[in-house]
Chain A
Amino acid sequence: EAGVAQSPRYKIIEKRQSVAFWCNPISGHATLYWYQQILGQGPKLLIQFQNNGVVDDSQLPKDRFSAERLKGVDSTLKIQPAKLEDSAVYLCASSQWAQGTWETQYFGPGTRLLVL
């Protein structure tokens, strides 16, 4: 079974530029998550989708971050404009929704973003 796919793996941009990350979850997984992992910290949830609807985006900085999952499969996370503090690894994860509960989250390799 293929895992969670993410691209690009690395991105370097200058502050105030925009950037987009792409994620394709494990086939059949209805739930998709985006996490931000700053160096030396644990991952922090940015947004959770159930199919193409948002379940939780309480920690997403909505003035500059946006995410979509239009067809309920792959997803795009965008940052516009980027700030220096956005330098981090952006992890995508997915899980099944089965018998009224969410199953284990499985993570992709991440996109490492450096903002100069």
Chain B
Amino acid sequence: AQSVAQPEDQVNVAEGNPLTVKCTYSVSGNPYLFWYVQYPNRGLQFLLKYITGDNLVKGSYGFEAEFNKSQTSFHLKKPSALVSDSALYFCAVRDGAAGNKLTFGGGTRVLVKP
């Protein structure tokens, strides 16, 4: 079975500081990893994905994520956070050998203070 853990319920960061949202995963096959963001009363918005290749993936709005196979992690990062980045972030994994079922973590709320 595949699973995702987001160990932090909330991350607080000052505007302009680096932002990191942690994610670890477990799959039996090759992992396909995703980050989505959810703003209040909105659906999930795709940020980036890792399928294969370079371990550092660049996505929308200045976000990037680093795939680390040995640590089974896929942490989301942004060098300089904006107040508008305040939202709920979800990490998701898909087992490459098991169809397109996405398993989501519980989410991490990011609060960027001015």
When distances are taken between beta carbons in the complex, the residues of chain B under 8 Å from A93 are 44
In the complex, the answer to whether B44 meets A91 with C-beta atoms within 8 Å is yes
Known A-B contacts A95-B100, A104-B34, A107-B36; the reply to A42 vs B46 at CB < 8 A is no
Measured in the bound complex, the distance between the Cα atoms of B106 and A56 in whole Å is: 22
Q: Which of A14-22, A43-51, A69-77, A79-87 forms contacts with chain B?
A: A43-51
Question: What is the 8 Å Cβ interface bit string for chain B, positions 42-61, against chain A (1 contact, 0 not)?
Answer: 11111001000000000000
Q: Mark B82-114, 1 if CB is under 8 A from A, else 0.
A: 000000001010000001111011110000000
Inter-chain CA distance A43–B104, complex, in Å, is: 6
Q: Across the two chains, which residue of chain A brings its CB closest to B100?
A: A102
A43 touches B44 (CB 8 A): yes
Interface size of B as a range:
20 to 34
A93 to B44, CA, bound (A): 9
Cross-chain pairs A/B with CB under 8 angstroms, 7 sampled: A31-B100, A42-B106, A43-B90, A56-B99, A95-B100, A105-B102, A109-B43
Bound CA span A31–B34, Å: 18
Contact partner, B44, options A31, A41, A56, A107, Cβ 8 Å = A107
Is there contact, CB below 8 Å, between B104 and A44? Answer: yes
**What separation, in Å, do the CA atoms of A99 and B41 have in the docked complex?**
34
Considering the chains assembled together, what is the distance between the CA atoms of A109 and B43 in angstroms?
Answer: 4
Q: Does A12 contact B (CB under 8 A)?
A: no
Q: Which one of A6, A31, A95, A107 contacts B45 once the chains associate, using CB atoms below 8 Å?
A: A107
**Closest Cβ of chain A: how far from B98's Cβ, in Å?**
10
Asked if B42 contacts A45 (CB within 8 A), the reply is no
> Does A55 belong to the interface (CB within 8 Å)?
yes
| A6 partner residues in chain B, CB cutoff 8 A | 43
